[in-house]
Amino acid sequence: MNKPYVVGVAGGSGSGKTFFLKCFLEHFTPDEVCLVSQDDYYIPVAHNMTKEENKLYNFDLPSTIDADLFESDISKLMRGETVYQKEYTFNNPDIVPRILEIKPAPIIIVEGLFILHFKKVANDLDMTIFIEADEDVALARRLKRDLAERGYSNEDAHYKWVNHVVPAYKEYLLPHRDRCAKVVINNGAVADDILKVTDEISQELRERVFGNS
């Protein structure tokens, strides 16, 4: 197997990484691409926390990620090995985590907040994509998600945004922005712009990796 082409997709909370990736992955078959998400490498800590402890705990730090395992699994995929990893359920005790089977593929997509901060991971990336949104847009998306999916109150979500999310973004992600090959502005409420961007990038990637259109 030839060396896979590794694409890093970074972006802050609420930037729209999930939607971008959904659109992007639709351009490839499961045999052509695999996805490794940093979120599945959180070190489990929250199940024994009280609600107040959970509110104060800062999940937006590199130290909350099992970086060694994250890096190791990416290396395994690059060597053509299948990876098994427990799905992270964002501290929701009502969800039974699945065991994810990630099979190697010619294109490996690595996504997450700290992928450019973790040097070993960053060094493996052949293409880097930075997803960006204005802060008010990102906050609105984050609040909607936290209320609907993670059970946080509006107050708790705001606390985390101001004290955890924004400082982490500015320290661990934003300094890498200008070194990324592609910066995608994702402020729109309609999908057309992102669909157009993923069309263009996937076409370029397909030509690089497979030599065809």
Determine if residue 112 is left, alpha or beta; phi over 0 gives left, psi from -120 to 50 gives alpha, anything else beta: left
- This prediction has a pTM of 0.90
On whether the CB atoms of residues 7 and 110 are closer than 8 A, the answer is yes
Rg (CA), the chain: 17
Tokens of 98: 């699945």
Per-residue pLDDT of the chain (213 residues; tens, 9 = 90+): 589 999 999 999 999 998 999 999 999 999 999 999 999 999 877 666 776 777 788 889 999 999 999 999 999 999 999 999 988 776 666 677 789 999 999 999 999 999 999 999 999 999 999 999 999 999 998 888 776 566 677 888 888 899 999 999 999 999 999 999 999 999 987 677 888 899 999 999 999 999 865
The answer to whether 85 and 100 have CB atoms below 8 angstroms apart is yes
- Cα angle: 186, vertex 160, 132; to 5 degrees: 15
Q: How many domains does the chain have?
A: 1
Range of the domain at 72: 5-210
Q: Residue 58: what are its φ and ψ, rounded to 5°?
A: -95, 105
Task: Specify the CATH number for the domain of residue 23.
Answer: 3.40.50.300
Q: State the DSSP code for 114.
A: T
